[in-house]
Copies of this chain bind each other. A is one copy, B any other.
Amino acid sequence: MPERPKKPSKAKARILDAAASLFHQKGFAAATVRDLADAVGILSGSLFHHFPNKGEILFAVMENVIIEMDASLENALAAAIDTKASLRALIRNELEFIHGPHGAATAVLVYEWNTLSPENQSRLLQRRRAYFARWHTVLARAKAEGLVSQDPALLRQLLHGAIVWSVNWYDPAGALSLTELEASVLALACPSQS
């Protein structure tokens, strides 16, 4: 009888971790429950002891990351001393999620949103809106102060696109540092400052 690694009560977390990378790597539809079970080190049927179906695993991955992302942004904004620092926090936070430890889950959240069933989408909609509301608040203030010139809703989408797309090209181990990338995105938003 081969010994299993002792990871007592963190089974669900292990599944979600593996699911995030797998769904990111192969896409939700192409990733099979057997792939996922292999990555975790269990048999495919055992997954359904923890989740009722494959779709709920996707949901859980997304819910986790959206909660952490919003909480992280809340903290970052609380520590920002002025509007420009808030602007930087918006960008920095999203970049850190996309390229940090939660990168896979964040990418899944962004790129597999339409894969979610409508019911599961609406289960996440409130948090999603709350997160975007933080963006809107900061961007609206930035515009009022003349820091940025574009419409907040439009600017949010443009910046969001620029940031999340970086998952497809940016290499954290490469020459460009995250801070430099952050500065570049910030420069897109509010050009007047250096």
Contacts and interface: CB of A to CB of B under 8 A. Distances in A.
A144 interface: no
Contacts of A158: 162, 165-166, 184-185, 188
Interface residues of A, number: 32
Contacts of A150: 184, 187
A39 interface: no
Interface string A135-169: 00000000000000111001101111111111011
A100 to B, nearest CB: 18
A176 interface: yes
A131 interface: no
A160 B9 CA distance: 41
A191 interface: yes
Interface of A: 27, 29-30, 111, 115, 149-151, 154-155, 157-166, 168-170, 176, 181, 184-185, 187-189, 191-192
